[in-house]
Amino acid sequence: MNRRKFIGQASCAAIGSITSMNTLYNLMASNRLAMDSSAPPNDYKALVCILLAGGNDSFNMLMPKGNAEYDEYALTRSNLAIPQEDIIALSGTNNGRSLGLHPSMTDAAAMYEAGDLAFVANTGTLVEPIMNNIEYGQKQRPIGLFSHSDQIEQWQTSVPDKRQAVGWGGRMADLLNATNSTSGISMNISLSGRNVFQSGNNVLEYSISNRGNGASGIEQIGTGDAGILNRLRNTAVDSLMSDIYGNVFKETFANLSTKTIASQKIFEAAMEQTGTFPTIFSDEDPTLSRNLRMMARVISSAQALNQNRQIFFTTFGGWDHHDELLNNQQYMLGVVSRAINQFYQALELAQPGLKNKVTLFTVSDFGRTLTSNGNGTDHAWGGNMIVAGGAVKGKEVYGTYPELNLTNDLVVSRRGNLIPTTATDQVFAEIAKWFGVSDTNLNDYVLPNFSRFDQTPLGFLL
Amino acid sequence: MNRTTLLFLSFLSFYYSVGHAQNGPLVIGAGQFSDVEVTSSSQSNNTQDDNTVQANGFLPNLTATSRFLGQATLGANYQTIVSVADKGEEQWLDEQFAMMPAFTLEQYVKDLTALAADSILTRGGDVSRIEPQLRYWHFGWWQYVMTTQDLLRSRVALALSEIFVISELPQLRDVPLALANYYDMLMRNSFGNFRDLLEDVTFHPAMGVYLTHMNNPKANPAINQFPDENYAREIMQLFSIGLYELNPDGSRKLDGDNNPIATYDNETIQEFAKIFTGMTWGDNFVFGRNATREQSYTTPMQMFNFWHESGPKTLLNGTVVPDRNPVDGLADVNDALDNLFNHPNVGPFIGRLLIQRLVKSNPSPEYIARVTAAFNDNGQGVRGDMKAFIKAILLDPEARTCPNEDDAFGGMLREPMVRYTHAARAFDAASEEGTYRNRMDDFYNLTFQRPLGSPSVFNFFQSNYQPIGAVEENGLVAPEFQITNSVSIMGYGNELHDWVMRDYDVMQLSSVFNGEQLTTYHRVNLDLAYLIELGEQGKVDELIERLDLILTHGQMTPKTKSLIKNALVDIPEHRADYRGRMAIFLTMISPDYLIIR
Distance of alpha carbon A103 from alpha carbon B106, whole angstroms = 41
Instruction: Determine whether the interchain pair A229/B571 forms a contact, defined as Cβ–Cβ distance below 8 Å.
Output: yes
Q: What are phi and psi of B353, to 5 degrees?
A: -60, -40
> Which pLDDT does position B21 carry in this prediction?
32
Mapped onto helix, strand or coil, the DSSP state of residue A90 is strand
DSSP code at position B244: B
**Rounded to whole angstroms, how far apart are CA atoms A158 and A177?**
20
Contact A430, A454 (CB under 8 A): no
DSSP strand pairing (A62-64 vs A383-388): unpaired
Residue type, B116: A
How far is it, in rounded angstroms, from Cα B229 to Cα B270?
6
CB-closest option in A6, A8, A373 to B227? A373
The β-bridge relationship of strands A45-53 and A309-317 is: parallel
C-beta atoms of A9 and B475 within 8 A: yes
**Cα–Cα distance, A54 to B289 (Å, whole number):** 25
B309 three-state secondary structure = coil
Say yes or no to pLDDT of B29 above 50.
Answer: no
Tens of pLDDT along B206-257?
A: 999 999 999 999 999 999 999 999 999 999 999 999 999 999 999 999 999 9
Question: Distance of CA B253 to CAs A279, B195, B218, B368, Å?
Answer: 56, 24, 35, 15
Which phi and psi angles does A387 have, rounded to 5°?
-125, 140
Residues of chain A with pLDDT under 50: 1-39
Distance CA B470, CA A20 (A): 10
Note the pLDDT of residue B125.
Answer: 81
What pLDDT, on a 0 to 100 scale, did the predictor assign at position A40? Answer: 57
| pLDDT surpasses 50 at B567 | yes
Q: Could you give the percent of chain B with pLDDT greater than 70?
A: 90
Report yes or no: A314 and A50 within 8 Å, Cβ to Cβ: yes
Q: Which of A12, A77, A215 sits opposite B401 (nearest CB)?
A: A12
The reply to whether residue A236 touches residue B251, judged by beta carbons under 8 angstroms, is no
Instruction: Tell me if B216 and A374 make a contact (CB, 8 A cut-off).
Output: yes
Q: What is d(CA B333, CA A74) in angstroms, rounded to the nearest whole number?
A: 34
How big is chain B, counted in residues?
597
Q: For residue B307, which of B229, B234, B227 has the smallest C-alpha distance?
A: B227
pLDDT of residue B45: 38
**Averaged over B427-455, what is the pLDDT?**
94
- Cα B173 from Cα B452, distance rounded (Å): 10
Could you please report the per-residue DSSP string of B512-549?
SSTTPPP-TTT--B---HHHHHHHHTT-HHHHHHHHHH
* pLDDT at site A180: 63
Q: What is the pLDDT of residues A384-393, one digit of tens each?
A: 999 999 999 9
DSSP string, B362-411: S--HHHHHHHHHHHH--SSS-SSBHHHHHHHHHHSHHHHSPPPTT-TT--
Cα(B343)–Cα(B355) distance, integer angstroms: 20
B266-301: pLDDT as tens digits: 999 999 999 999 999 999 999 999 998 999 999 999
- Name the band, by pLDDT with cuts 50, 70 and 90, for residue B41: very low
Question: Rounded to 5 degrees, what angle do the CA atoms A360, A180, A363 make?
Answer: 20
Instruction: Report how far residue A350's alpha carbon sits from residue A296's, in angstroms, rounded to the nearest whole number.
Output: 8
Per-residue confidence at B406, pLDDT binned at 50, 70, 90? Answer: low
Residue B527 phi, psi (nearest 5): -95, 95
CA distance A101 to chain B (A): 23
**What is the number of residues in chain A?**
462
Question: Mind listing the pLDDT tens digit for each residue in B313-334?
Answer: 999 999 999 999 999 999 999 9
Distance between B425 CA and the closest CA of chain A, angstroms: 24
CA distance A324 to chain B (A): 10
Task: Tell me which H or E stretch contains A399.
Answer: strand A397-399
pLDDT at residue B123 in the model = 84
A233/B570 touch (CB, cutoff 8 Å), yes or no? no
Kindly state the DSSP code that residue A461 receives in the 8-state scheme: -
Q: What is the ipTM for the molecules in this complex?
A: 0.89
How would residue B390 be classed by pLDDT, with cut points 50, 70 and 90? very high
> What is the tens place of the pLDDT at every residue in B159-180?
999 999 999 988 899 999 999 9
Percentage of chain B modeled with pLDDT above 90 = 82
Q: Residue type at B193?
A: N
> Which residues in chain B (261-280) have CB-CB distances under 8 A to chain A?
266, 269-270
Q: What is the pLDDT of residue A204?
A: 86
DSSP lists the bridge partners of residue B495 as none
User: Quick one: which of B137, B19, B145, B140 has its CA closest to B73?
Assistant: B145
E strands, A35-190, in order: 45-53, 62-64, 88-94, 97-101, 117-124, 188-190
The C-alpha atoms of residue A284 and residue A425 are separated, in whole angstroms, by: 37
Q: Quick check: A374 and A338 in contact, CB under 8 A? A: no
Q: What is the pTM of this model?
A: 0.86
Give the per-residue pLDDT at B167: 96
B60: confidence class by pLDDT, cuts 50, 70, 90: low
Give dist(CA B571, CA B501) in Å, integer: 14
pLDDT band for B10, please (50, 70, 90 cuts). Answer: very low
Residue B326: asked if its preceding bond is cis (omega within 30°), the reply is yes
Q: What is the pLDDT of residue B25?
A: 30
Facing residue for B456 by CB, picked from A11, A24, A317: A317
pLDDT value of position A179: 61
The answer on pLDDT for B34 being more than 50 is no
Give the H/E segment covering residue A317: strand A309-317
Q: Which helix (H) or strand (E) holds A150?
A: helix A148-157
Contacting residues of B for A142, CB less than 8 Å apart: none
- Check CB contact of B537 with chain A, cutoff 8 Å: no
The answer to whether B589 faces chain A, any CB pair under 8 Å, is yes
Residue of B493, B349, B525 lying closest to B427 (CA atoms):
B525
Which residue in A6, A14, A371 is closest to B225 by CB distance?
Answer: A371
- Work out the pLDDT band at B50, boundaries 50, 70, 90: very low
pLDDT at B35: 35
Q: What mean pLDDT comes out for the span B13-21?
A: 31
SS3 A52: strand
- Residue numbers in B near A335 (CB within 8 A): none
A462 CA: distance to closest CA in chain B (Å): 33
pLDDT of residue A181: 62
Rounded to a whole number, what is the largest CA-CA distance in chain A? 78
pLDDT of residue B405: 61
Please name which of B348, B219, B353 lies closest in space to residue B276, comparing C-alpha atoms. B219
Kindly give the interhelix angle for A287-300 and A325-350, rounded to the nearest 10 degrees. Answer: 20
Enumerate residues 8 to 27 of chain B having a beta carbon within 8 A of any beta carbon in chain A. Answer: 9
- Cβ–Cβ under 8 Å, residues B276 and B232: yes
Interior angle at CA B490, CA B484 and CA B491, nearest 5: 85
Judge whether residue B46 has pLDDT over 80: no
Instruction: Report how far residue A293's alpha carbon sits from residue A277's, in angstroms, rounded to the nearest whole number.
Output: 9
Query: Residue B52: pLDDT band by 50, 70, 90 thresholds?
Result: very low
Paired sense of beta strands A62-64 and A97-101, if any? antiparallel
Determine which of B448, B486, B577, B594 to mutate to test the interface with A (most A C-beta atoms within 10 Å).
B486
> Is the confidence at residue B57, as pLDDT, over 70?
no
Residue B189 has pLDDT above 80, yes or no: yes
Q: Are B426 and A262 in contact (CB under 8 A)?
A: no
Contact A233 B366 (CB under 8 A): no
